[in-house]
Amino acid sequence: MQRITVQTTPIEGQKPGTSGLRKKTHVFMQPHFLENFIQSIWVGIGGVEGKTLVLGGDGRYFNDRAAQVILRMAAASGAKKMIVGQNALLSTPAASNLIRIRKTDGGIIMSASHNPGGPKEDFGVKFNTANGGPTPEELTNRIFEASKSVTAYDIVETQDIDLSQLGTTELAGMEVEIVDPVADYAALMQSLFDFGAIRDLLASGFRLRFDAMHAVTGPYAKAILEETLGAPEGSVVNAVPSPDFGGGHPDPNPIWAKELMDVVFGEGAPDFGAASDGDGDRNMIVGRNIYVTPSDSLAVLAANAHLAPGYSDGLKGVARSMPTSRELDRVAAAKGLDCFETPTGWKFFGNLLDAGRVSLCGEESAGTGSDHVREKDGLWAVLLWLNILAVKRQPVASIMTAHWEQYGRNYYSRHDYEGVDSDKANALVDALRGKLIHLPGQDFSGLTVESADEFAYDDPVDGSRSENQGIRIGFTGGARIVFRLSGTGTVGATLRVYLEDVETDPSKMHRDAQETLANVIAAADEIAGIEAYTGRTAPDVKT
């Protein structure tokens, strides 16, 4: 075992996005690519000498190999200790929790979230800071700048550490503690929710189905839902993490979780269905014969969080990402809560959570969470839903109907155009940006534009400003379109078009969302020229 210094040169394309660096797996496996990026993280955070970090990932292809490299680099650079999930597994919210309760200097999470995994699919690495949350923009920029000037990295030459056995070992003077990835997270969940009430609900004949999508949440859901809360064995399906997620796409939405949708909308359906994504931070909620959109779910959780012990004193405030539907705003207004609108990216919630300004937040992309960690948390959302159902003893559909009748319904959909040529996608956005000043007062597909702008966010905690965070078109009557280029893909650009309209007539609250939004969808293409710029006549995914 010896420490060596390896000479290298900068590699282009190592600029982290909102959730770290994501690339095709074969790119990360190229000589020096992973090592260069890890070295850039070390430089960006001021070195790792004497520091303690958490390490884990979602189990996707290359997760095990990358973990060994990161451990050897940390030891060579003088880290004091690495706390590693058994078999290098940790869900993203569990990693955030571990960073917080162990008071470490941060952690590295190996994941590309909801993206597919495998030799030809995606891999990712991100650094979470000492509060358990994603890196702020200032640190992300430091890491990127370091990647442009890296010339060498230190690494220990040694055999692999056995990460399958719990306990403590040593690597070149660095302590390596291998921990149960589930235990601390499960204890946190038990402190927040009324497990007794949920156990009684499940014992009453209430049936659930949780689809872990062959991803990291499987062991967590098995331990909590089946072993602790008493759901019958088999209630959690696709529960064994797989390097390629069973050949599927671990994104919990009606398209990629079709197996679950077929069951919950089929004959003899369970009362409640849920799914989580690759790294466990996203969720999908379904009731018998009803799909709950992420925006609806966020609003329902905000309206009913007080039914769970961890939130019985009420919420401090709520926050949503700008593209998320504005249904949450009406709940907040009715309850007298502050409601913050932030850019997309969980890191923007971090300051609000740390400052005690909010205790629940969420994004339309199936991410919801609270101040218990500094990441969105899929299984947490499922347990909060179960706690609400255990108290109300009503079907999901009845809860949704009552909620809409009280607060109104925002019909909502997101249309994704994936793998669009980057130049064409940017040209569309640039042309749209140039039209904004002229749009108010114009009519499109029967809708009159009331406002048009590009969202910018002034952080109320630290005063920082984030510009160019999505284009918003508002219409008279409450309809809205948001256009945004996403940074979560690894090929080309993904154009996301968010569409919503408000309905307050109870007799019109159970219609098909796509049909109800038809004029808003038409207006989006008319305003932005989606087909003209992209050549696409329809989105790849509608959620």
- Give whole-number Cα distances, 333 to 313, 329, 340, 512, in Å: 18, 6, 12, 27
Are 278 and 111 within 8 A, CB to CB? yes
Which residues pair with residue 367 across a beta bridge?
A: 363
Are 235 and 275 within 8 A, CB to CB? no
Read off the tokens for 128. Answer: 């979470």
Read off the tokens for 484. Answer: 């945004």
- Which residues, in sequence order, are CB contacts of 455 under 8 Å at separation 6+? 322, 343, 469, 470, 471, 472
CA distance 332 to 324: 14
Asked if 113 is an active-site residue, the reply is: yes
Which residues pair with residue 273 across a beta bridge?
A: 209, 286
Using the Cα atoms of residue 111, residue 112, residue 117 and residue 120 in order, give the sign of their dihedral. Answer: negative
Are 226 and 210 within 8 A, CB to CB? no
CA distance 135 to 154: 23
Q: What number of helices (H) and strands (E) belong to the chain?
A: 18, 27
User: Which one is catalytic: 40, 77, 111, 113?
Assistant: 113
Where b means 16+ CB within 10 Å and e means fewer, 164-180 reads eeeeeeebbebebebbe
Which residues pair with residue 179 across a beta bridge?
A: 85
- Residues with a catalytic annotation lie at 113
